[in-house]
Structure 1
Amino acid sequence: MIIIPIKEGENIERALKKFKRKFEKTGIIKELRQRQFFTKPSIKRRDEMKKAVYVLKLQEAEE
């Protein structure tokens, strides 16, 4: 459970902004979207390899 301490007189919009930021950092929504469909381990591995190649190309282009 996410707890956001609110100081007296603090704006409610600021507290909501803090809550949204903490909620995003937990990654709950991202995990729920991933769990909607089953992906085979071989496909996960393939996607990880594609991402690694992409990052490597970016790093080489940067140098």
Structure 2
Amino acid sequence: MLIIPVKEGENIERALKKFKKKFDRTGVIKELRARQAFIKPSIINRKQKLKAVYINKIRSEQE
């Protein structure tokens, strides 16, 4: 459960922005989408390896 302390006289939009930021950091939506369909572990590993290769390539190009 997220608790957002709101100070006296603080704008409601600012409190809502804090709530949205905290909610995004929890990763609830990302986890829900991932659980909608089963993904084989081999496919997950393949995606992680491809992502690592891509990031490595970008870092080597910057240097």
TM over 0.5: yes
For residues 5-63 of structure 1, the C-alpha deviation after alignment (integer angstroms, 9 at most, x for no partner) is 00011111110000000000101101111111100000000000100100110011011
CA distance in structure 2 between the partners assigned to 1:5 and 1:34 by the alignment: 31
Whichever residue aligns with residue 12 of structure 2, its letter is: I
Structure 2: gaps spanning 5 or more residues? none
Task: Give % identity.
Answer: 65
Runs ≥4 in structure 1, deviation > 2 angstroms? Answer: none
> Aligned residue for 1:20?
20
> Aligned residue for 2:55?
55
Question: Structure 2 length normalisation: TM-score?
Answer: 0.97
Structure 1: gaps spanning 5 or more residues? none
Work out the number of aligned pairs and report it.
Answer: 63
Question: Structure 1 length normalisation: TM-score?
Answer: 0.97
